[in-house]
Structure 1
Amino acid sequence: MADIVLEEFFIKRSQQKKKTSPLNYKERLFTLKQRQLSYYDYDAEKGKKKSLKGTVDLEKVKCVEKVLPEANAPPERLFPFQIIYDEGPLYVFAKTDEIRKQWIRKLKEEVQYNKDLLQKYHPCFWADGLWLCCQQEVKQAVGCKVLEMRPRGISSQNSRRKSRKPLPPTPSEEKASRPLPPQPQAQPQPPPPAPQPTSSSAMKVIAQYEYTPMTEQDLGLEVGEEYVILEVASTNWWKARDKYGNEGYIPSNYVMEFRDDGGFLVRDSSKAGKYTVSVFTKVGGNTNGSCRHYNICTNQQGQFYLAEKHNFSNIPELIKYHQHNAAGLASRLKYIVSNTTQSAPSTAGLGYGVWEIDPQHLTCIKELGSGQFGVVKYGKWQGRHDVAIKMIKEGSMSEDDFINEAKVMMNLQHPNLVQLYGVCTKQRPIYIVTEYLSNGCLLDFLRDGIKNPHPVQLLEMCKDVSEGMAYLESQQYLHRDLAARNCLVDSQGTVKVTDFGLSRYVLDDEYTSSAGSKFPVRWSPPEVLLYCKFSSKSDVWAFGVLMWEIYTLGKMPYERLNNTDIVQKVSSGLRLYRPQLANERIYSIMMACWNDKPEDRPTFQELAANVQDLLYDLQ
């Protein structure tokens, strides 16, 4: 029983493998383990499982999603969901929506690394030989609705939400001169633990982004090209070899591993205005596989093709066809290996092994503002990479202690954390060089940058922060000063947490208690105010206050109280009021963060899941 993740009674619908098969509904005991879903007949009188009725290997699951209930469904069948795998859809009915959400979330967490995940799904049932949503009569037909496949826990990398990024153009919207390739709604995934190449079978990857070497040790990447991984030097940097035999270090978050035959991506061709499809294949007995590249061509009628006999009016239709038919390719296009976005992600440092940066390579362009440590400027590294430069005023920081910690901080990498690139410590003042985010501080963005915000926009800000903090939590790393002023906003509207852990090195700032310890009073829980006891649960309290800042569009917490009053009143049970823009469900998350007992507050992983649930319902 120790390896059981979830167990629940559900009504299971028969899979109707033949068009004329009658439907039936039977109650089964479902058991979810880490690698398998099983369902059993159950003897209610004896209170134990009877015969095993079926199993689903989780590695074969392609989609987990809600299903719209049938018309005039009885009460016991109001909360259906589907598990799509090799044999088709498995339909089950939960007793409540909460149980359904719990199972969908957990199943998505368990299958989030599967390589054959769908990008579209059918929101209605397959019944009597057709899909009720789109009336298609082929059971394997591609879904009719774009799937929001985001795991309901810690985020993943390169995430882009549909509220911030428009769906790909429909064929009628595309320009005939250069139609865009499809932007598959692939599931954003957190990076799995770095696989170790073995001597018998080196790991092969394909570049998702172009990478220009920053140091002599680095190796350049070209989008769509194949590379062999020789050594996993660290989680963030791998040693690789290109097709010409050149070797060097590459950022691990710029490449995607091929595992199965038929992985593909669509990319810009070397010829302007053209596109190339890169496909991984194991044809010809090559067990390690290789990458084949096919240029998308046009005929005299302006139609697009990969194989001359199969022409299409636009590229999305071409891709859709070859997802089901090889038609001259080494393999059909089975699964998308890239969820590439317009801009490449940040690297952990400005090149492999670089953490001490030569200040002569930095050009300061304009001042962004000033904080507790000194002036922050926007600049360039080596004249081409955007960076933010914190110039630490002398006497404001315990510099030696920070420098010892900087290497550890550089290895922290997540889409919702501002990346530390390196430091300049051989001069004074010392510099901290980080990722530059063009929309600046979240607090200023809330106060001046948004008008009449949509509920989804505010909730996504909370989600971004919760997921960045969930990653810090997983690394046993405390922030100690989480607040809107310590978050930044990028050009896409994504919020990233910054200055994590820096408050430990403050020598003189405005956050002082009667005992002389340094901390932000308005964002601190009773155990910090009274006993200076920090933990991940004190960060959780601060997250609740940050949510309150978001939903008040940047108001000062306890704005009418001074620090002394706050210590007394919060320790006696005072809590911030519900903001007008926050409904009761959102406010209940804030209140959970402000529980008197630290052990009764949620973890950041639980917070991220709860916020994702709310977002899921809103969308």
Structure 2
Amino acid sequence: MSDIKLEEIFIKRSQQKKKTSPLNYKERWFILTQEKVAYYDFDSEKGKRKGLKGTVDLEKVKCVETVQPETNTPQERMYAFQIIYDEGPLYIFAKTEDVRTLWINELKKLVRFNKDLMQKYHPCFWVDGVWLCCQQEVKQAMGCKVLESSTKNGFQSTFRRTSRKPLPPTPKVEKLGRPLPPEPPEPPASSASMTVVAEYDYTPVTPQDLELRKDEEYTILERSDPNWWKARDKYGKEGYIPSNYVVEAERGLEKFDWYSKNMNRSQAEQLLKSENKDGGFLVRESSRAGKYTVSLLAKSGVEMGGSCRHYNICTTQQGQFYLAEKHHFQTIPELINYHQHNAAGMVSRLKHIVSNRAQPPSTAGLGYGVWEIDPRDLTFIKELGSGQFGVVKYGKWQGQHDVAIKMIKEGSMSEDDFIEEAKIMMKLRNENLVQLYGVCTKQRPIYIVTEFLANGCLLTYLKEGLKQHPTSVQLLEMCKDVSEGMAYLESQQYIHRDLAARNCLVDANGTVKVTDFGLSRYVLDDEYTSSAGSKFPVRWSPPEVLLYCKFSSKSDIWAYGVLMWEVYTLGKLPYERLNNTEIVDQVSRGLRLFRPQLANDKVYSIMTSCWCDKPDERPTFQELAFNVQDLLYELQ
């Protein structure tokens, strides 16, 4: 282990996975590396390390914090800290405060960019089926203490599952004059080179771009822009490549064709059934972060066309992976290789790889540094609809890339302000946001060019586009998509101001993406910008917006609850029997939307948590995403 960062003998507490399990405390030899924490049995007399007892992959860590000692704690267990990951808290006891601080600081530095770090934690121990700090009896219950958003040790909580970005600092009070939000933070350029493998072909668009060929290796030279990395190919040619088209060599599952990143259960079933091969399979991320699921189509059952089965990949206490209890493997690729030859308890062995790698993801812009688009490169094909700003058309850029083109009606927008912000908005990239590609500002009307999504507006999709009655999993997946897109915006200090089903789009695979974020700030129509106006989104607005026009991320939370209601009513109009004046009056007095027939009590409780009178009592989008993911995991 040449990359050992820290090494120490600690007391480790048993994890007490069952309420009836007795607690025990044993000395273990702990080793921290760049990738994991491992702990071993050891011979105290000879001072030698013995057998491996367990590991925790650092990429799965959600929180590292101190733990308050229990009453009458012996001296050797006074300096406790916790590493929280998928399987719960790992409690470790240091011999001194200095050693504990050293390990916590190093761990926090290593996991600071993890995708599912928590905002709340339990400061006390989990003992005999209860949290001593808050008396909750569910081990997975949300923490009861907010983590300090401190960066003095290079650590900040981040939102769950989407991208590795830091949480926002305390939101700044908006001043008059519609100021621009801060530019999204960029990670420092890395001095160390990194080898990556291309997952997709990429054809250069500008002279600064570098061509990518699928499965070939490239050396990364610079990462100052999170979306476009400077790279060198095997012939020595250098240029910029989209960072989401490559994966680090020798690491991760992305290099395997059977791995489908960012695919949910419904999309997996749709893809497997479209391939229609007995034993067709893929591996995808589970709805619970850090977990993986094998989705498999078997035609041996009575169901027409076969049935899809979903098997969660489990881990042992020693960090090994398994689908069948008796067959454990050190890595997921080893597990998949075994089950390609042996069913071992599954309905079928894994016979045919089914991949979704054909369609590359959207890039942040249509080439490195491209944000001003020449309108002569655009071909208009058909009108998609019209909105607050004007007509939206489907078209092609340079005759080959599908795009949506929003033609801004003159006088409808504060154009100069928007053009300045567009440069920042282009750097926002998330799987659940509609990607802004660029703008055409050299002529009037100006154009906004974005990613094109084949299934159109979510509201229309709910009313007309679903080919069959949606399952509870499908509806919850839609809500999950929106919560994760909004969690990313929240992390970048963006306020949407007009979140609703009409402002979300659906791609060809059924993924929902948020669009038009922040655009309402540039509307020049008084009917739209004043809460007294008929165009104002009264039905999606909380009391503080209706009464005082006070927008914040918490007003977006309220709107998200209403959007969930739209999803579970398949596109009904909120408060359909009331006019705007009646809604302002009755919502301010406590009226709330009823529980939709398709929503169970747990789903409705998430909606109602968004509709608290006091904005500070509403959850964050990170917490909402966490809660929706947990419900999805229960359904699967």
TM surpasses 0.5: yes
Q: Deviations over 1:173-210 (max 9, x none)?
A: xxxxxxxxxxxxxxxxxx99757331xx4222221221
Q: Do the aligned residues in 2 keep the contact of 1:517 with 1:532 (CA within 8 Å)?
A: no
Shift of residue 100, structure 1, vs aligned partner: 2.9
The residue number in structure 2 matching 1:197 is 190
Q: Do the aligned residues in 2 keep the contact of 1:38 with 1:52 (CA within 8 Å)?
A: no
Query: Are positions 1:424 and 2:474 aligned together?
Result: no
Out of 31-40 and 394-403, give the one that drifted further: 31-40
- What secondary structure sits across from 2:474 in the alignment? helix
Partner Cα distance (1:438, 1:585) in 2? 32
The residue number in structure 2 matching 1:521 is 538
Structure-to-structure mapping, 1:95-494, within 5 angstroms: 95=129, 99-102=138-141, 153-156=160-163, 194=187, 196-198=189-191, 201-258=192-249, 265-266=255-256, 320=337, 341-450=357-466, 451-494=468-511
Partner amino acid for 1:553? L
The residue number in structure 1 matching 2:562 is 545
- What secondary structure sits across from 1:386 in the alignment? strand
Q: Deviations over 1:8-57 (max 9, x none)?
A: 9975379xxxxxxxx984256999997998999x9976145645999998
Q: Do the aligned residues in 1 keep the contact of 2:405 with 2:448 (CA within 8 Å)?
A: yes
User: Normalising by structure 1, what TM-score?
Assistant: 0.62
Shift of residue 425, structure 1, vs aligned partner: 0.7
Q: Do the aligned residues in 2 keep the contact of 1:521 with 1:529 (CA within 8 Å)?
A: yes
For structure 2, the residue ranges without an aligned partner over 5 or more in a row are: 1-11, 28-36, 38-55, 90-125, 131-135, 146-157, 165-183, 259-332, 341-354
User: Normalising by structure 2, what TM-score?
Assistant: 0.61
Partner Cα distance (1:577, 1:408) in 2? 39
The residue number in structure 1 matching 2:523 is 506
Q: Do the aligned residues in 1 keep the contact of 2:69 with 2:79 (CA within 8 Å)?
A: no
Partner Cα distance (1:195, 1:205) in 2? 19
The residue number in structure 2 matching 1:143 is none
- What secondary structure sits across from 2:438 in the alignment? strand
Query: Are positions 1:12 and 2:30 aligned together?
Result: no
What percentage of residue pairs aligned between the two structures are identical?
66
Partner Cα distance (2:484, 2:628) in 1? 10
Partner amino acid for 1:455? S
Partner amino acid for 1:608? A
Q: Do the aligned residues in 1 keep the contact of 2:375 with 2:440 (CA within 8 Å)?
A: yes
Going from structure 1 to structure 2, the CA distance change for 1:434 and 1:44 (only over 3 Å counts) comes to: closer
Partner Cα distance (1:35, 1:579) in 2? 34
Q: Deviations over 1:228-269 (max 9, x none)?
A: 112224111111110001111111111112476x9883469x
Shift of residue 154, structure 1, vs aligned partner: 3.5
Partner Cα distance (1:38, 1:574) in 2? 41
Going from structure 1 to structure 2, the CA distance change for 1:585 and 1:227 (only over 3 Å counts) comes to: same
- What secondary structure sits across from 2:586 in the alignment? helix
Partner Cα distance (2:212, 2:367) in 1? 13
Going from structure 1 to structure 2, the CA distance change for 1:425 and 1:43 (only over 3 Å counts) comes to: closer
Q: Deviations over 1:394-426 (max 9, x none)?
A: 111111111111111111110000000000111
Partner Cα distance (1:318, 1:594) in 2? 45
Shift of residue 429, structure 1, vs aligned partner: 1.1
- What secondary structure sits across from 1:400 in the alignment? helix
Going from structure 1 to structure 2, the CA distance change for 1:422 and 1:45 (only over 3 Å counts) comes to: closer
Going from structure 1 to structure 2, the CA distance change for 1:193 and 1:398 (only over 3 Å counts) comes to: closer
The residue number in structure 2 matching 1:74 is none
Q: Do the aligned residues in 2 keep the contact of 1:10 with 1:93 (CA within 8 Å)?
A: no
Shift of residue 320, structure 1, vs aligned partner: 2.1
Partner Cα distance (1:402, 1:35) in 2? 37
- What secondary structure sits across from 2:23 in the alignment? strand
Partner Cα distance (1:193, 1:64) in 2? 32
Count of equivalent residues: 432
Q: Do the aligned residues in 2 keep the contact of 1:465 with 1:496 (CA within 8 Å)?
A: yes
Residue of 527, 530, 535 corresponding to 2:547: 530
Partner amino acid for 2:528? Y
Going from structure 1 to structure 2, the CA distance change for 1:49 and 1:393 (only over 3 Å counts) comes to: farther
Partner Cα distance (1:359, 1:502) in 2? 21
The residue number in structure 2 matching 1:598 is 615
Partner Cα distance (1:250, 1:389) in 2? 24
Q: Deviations over 1:291-314 (max 9, x none)?
A: xxxxxxxxxxxxxxxxxxxxxxxx
Out of 495-504 and 362-371, give the one that drifted further: 362-371
Q: Do the aligned residues in 1 keep the contact of 2:188 with 2:224 (CA within 8 Å)?
A: no
Q: Deviations over 1:448-486 (max 9, x none)?
A: 112321001000100000000000000001100000000
